[in-house]
A and B are shown apart, each in its own frame.
Chain A
Amino acid sequence: MSPTEPDDNMIPEGDDFIAAEYVLGVIPQQERREVARRIETDKPFADLVARWQTQLDPLNDEYDAAQAPQHLKSRIDQRLFAIEVAASSSFWNNIAFWRGLAFAALAFAVIGIGRDLIERPARIREQLVASMETQGSSVRTLAIFDDQTKKLKVTVVSGDIPKDRSLELWLIAGNEAPVSLGLMVSPQVTEFNLSSPLLAKLRDGTTLALTLEPVGGAPGGAPTGPIVAAGVVRKI
């Protein structure tokens, strides 16, 4: 013990310490419940808790992001909404909403939001995005074109991807035949490289679609399986 340590008897237990103990999480269940109730009703005490939380927040960086299994989001939706997932598609087409978000950073965010979240400055610029879904399919995906890397990132937001088939992404410009952009290689996020001619076709109004194909993709270069998700590219 160093001589500068204060005498323990001189330190009041105090609400501040109780708040810190709660934020750290060290206390037993019964005490935790009581403190949690107090936070609801005692504003000055709740402020002490919030202050400790803010001070310890930087430690959150040490939690490494880990991709959750794909099926969880569908289960959450079932628990919350208990109806088919495709009901609320109108939101996806609400451009004002999308534009309101500082959306440029989402492509980083879906991979993991550690420091990106804290440090990345808001960049609001036009961006090409497409939400893809279709009736009768639980698969919902989000495609975002990264203007810097020139890659199209497709994220499966919810729905189950069959393991014994491949999902193939198609670009459909106007009345032209679908052109394959490649296969989804990850159940979470896949990046697609686009050749220059295809880059030119990826613009507001272009359709993107995912079809279910034999493993390895449609053999003849044209889609053979059902569409599991489709959407129109929007500039936001």
Chain B
Amino acid sequence: MTPEGISELISRVSLRDRAAFDVLYAATSAKLFGVCLRVLGNRTEAEDALQDIYVKIWNKAGRFAVADTSPISWLVAIARNHCIDILRSRKPAAVELDQAAAVSEPSPNPEQAAVASGEAQRIYDCLGRLEADRAAAVRGAYLNGDSYEVLASRHKVPLNTMRTWLRRSLIKLKECLEG
């Protein structure tokens, strides 16, 4: 479905159109479920989260009109933020740290990177200009919802160092993206 199609559906949903909600769900739930699975890493929690997310979408649809963003980005942001909130509230830091040590951050799928076009290509180009472990920290934070603690533990640096890394990386990234 086109972005225009999704936008139309969201504005219909804001008018309490349940058929539009059905179609919106059919068209977008697989993507948002993918977000939940990746961030939460647990099917049962992902299923519960997806329900909460669509309840939010139904209730917040009216605010999409004032959001200066593409419709799918808006939906993914709702899903990501919800899942990250769950992540931050459920896990005692110690458990998170145990897991952090075990997980290594996957590189971008080469095929994905190769077919990425336009804007997507640009962010990968810019991430590519960062040192590899710093680019991995940015991707890991965004895609998996990694906290500072998890990132610091995985990259074996103190928390403040991780924060500094990230800050520098983001400044460079921004210069590159906007330059």
Contact = CB atoms under 8 A, between A and B. Distances in A.
B31 A63 contact: yes
Contacts of B157: none
B30 A54 contact: no
Contacts of A8: 164, 167-168
A110 B142 contact: no
Nearest to B73: A57
B67 A58 contact: no
A89 to B, nearest CB: 8
Given A53-B73, A103-B5, A119-B117, A59 B50 contact: no
A25 B33 contact: no
Contact of B84 (A6, A32, A69, A116): A32
Interface string B8-28: 110010000111101101111
A190 B146 CA distance: 37
A50 B119 contact: no
Contact of A157 (B17, B25, B108, B166): B25
A6 B170 CA distance: 13
A66 B30 contact: yes
A137 to B, nearest CB: 15
B123 A122 contact: no
- Interface residue SS majority, chain A: helix
B30 A117 contact: no
Interface residues of A, number: 74
A97 B5 CA distance: 11
B143 interface: yes
B4 A55 contact: no
A222 interface: no
A105 B1 contact: yes
B1 A50 contact: no
Interface in A42-96: 50, 53-69, 72-73, 75-77, 79-81, 88, 91-92, 94
Contacts of B27: 106, 109-110, 113
A158 interface: yes
Contacts of A79: 51, 55
B2 interface: yes
B22 A102 contact: no
B141 A112 contact: no
Nearest to B115: A115
B26 A66 contact: no
A68 B142 contact: no
A76 B112 contact: no
Given A63-B34, A97-B12, A102-B4, 17 more contacts: A8-B168, A24-B138, A24-B141, A25-B80, A25-B84, A25-B142, A32-B88, A54-B69, A58-B124, A63-B143, A68-B29, A68-B47, A69-B47, A106-B1, A113-B1, A113-B31, A117-B1
Closest 7 CB pairs of A and B: A91-B19, A109-B1, A58-B120, A29-B88, A65-B30, A109-B27, A68-B33
Interface of B: 1-6, 8-9, 12, 17-20, 22-23, 25-31, 33-35, 37-38, 47, 50-51, 54-55, 58, 67-70, 72-73, 76-77, 80-81, 84-85, 88-89, 108-109, 112, 115-117, 119-120, 122-124, 138-139, 141-143, 145-148, 151, 164, 166-168, 170-171, 173-174, 177
17 contacts: A8-B168, A26-B147, A50-B67, A50-B68, A50-B69, A57-B69, A58-B116, A58-B120, A58-B123, A60-B35, A61-B120, A66-B30, A73-B29, A79-B51, A102-B1, A106-B1, A131-B19
